[in-house]
Chains A and B, each alone.
Chain A
Amino acid sequence: DTEVTQTPKHLVMGMTNKKSLKCEQHMGHRAMYWYKQKAKKPPELMFVYSYEKLSINESVPSRFSPECPNSSLLNLHLHALQPEDSALYLCASSQPDRNYGYTFGSGTRLTVV
C-alpha cells in the first residue's frame, strides 16, 4: 500500500459547524503533515507529527485542532471556521528524514459558507 487516503474529498460547512478531516497511511511512515493550499499557490505547512507527537505548529489558529491517534491516522478537527479558510487541505506522510520526500493524499476540498 503506497497511498495516503483522505476523507472526505469534498466538505461544505457553515461557520458554526464542527467537522473533522481524516487521513490514513499504511506505509509505516512515522511523520505526518497537514498542509493548506489555496488556488494557484504552493502548499503551506500547518502541522507536523513525528512519532505521533506534535513537533511543528506553524502558528495555526486554534479553530484548527490536529490529532494523531496512532502512527497510521491523522485527523484535523475544524470548528468555527471563516470563509477565508476555504482551501484544499492536504495530508502527507514521510519518514522523519530530510532525504525521504513526501507522499501526499488527494486532499479535501473545503468550502466554508
Chain B
Amino acid sequence: GNSVTQMEGPVTLSEEAFLTINCTYTATGYPSLFWYVQYPGEGLQLLLKATKADDKGSNKGFEATYRKETTSFHLEKGSVQVSDSAVYFCALSSNAGKSTFGDGTTLTVKP
C-alpha cells in the first residue's frame, strides 16, 4: 500500500533560519504529492503540490521538488518567520478520492 514518512518533530528554529522538512513516500504508479499546513485551531490548507517527477511546487516562499529517483518531496524555505509556526503534513494521492498523509511535523519559530 501507499505510505508517507516525514521527519520526526518537533522542529524549533530561530527567525530567518533555513527550513527543511523531509518527506519520503512509497506508492504504486505515479502519485501526486502535496504539502498541507495546519495552524492551531484550524483545518489543513494546501500549501503546494507537484504532479509529476521533477516538478517543483512553490507558494509563500516554500518550495518542494518531486524526486522520483529518491521518492522524496522535501519542504524548504529560505528564511522562516514566527508566523510559519504550524504543523506541516506531506501527502500523496495515487487514486482519485483517497490521499495518504504523513504523521505531520510541528514547526516552532522563535523570534
Residues of A within 8 A of B (CB): 4, 6, 31, 40-43, 45, 48, 50, 55-56, 90, 92, 96-99, 101-107
Contact = CB atoms under 8 A, between A and B. Distances in A.
B-side interface mostly: strand
B73 interface: no
Contact of A98 (B42, B89, B95, B102): B95
A96 B106 CA distance: 29
Contacts, number: 60
B74 interface: no
Nearest to B10: A40
Interface residues of B, number: 25
Nearest to B99: A102
Nearest to B43: A104
Contact of A104 (B31, B44, B94, B95): B44
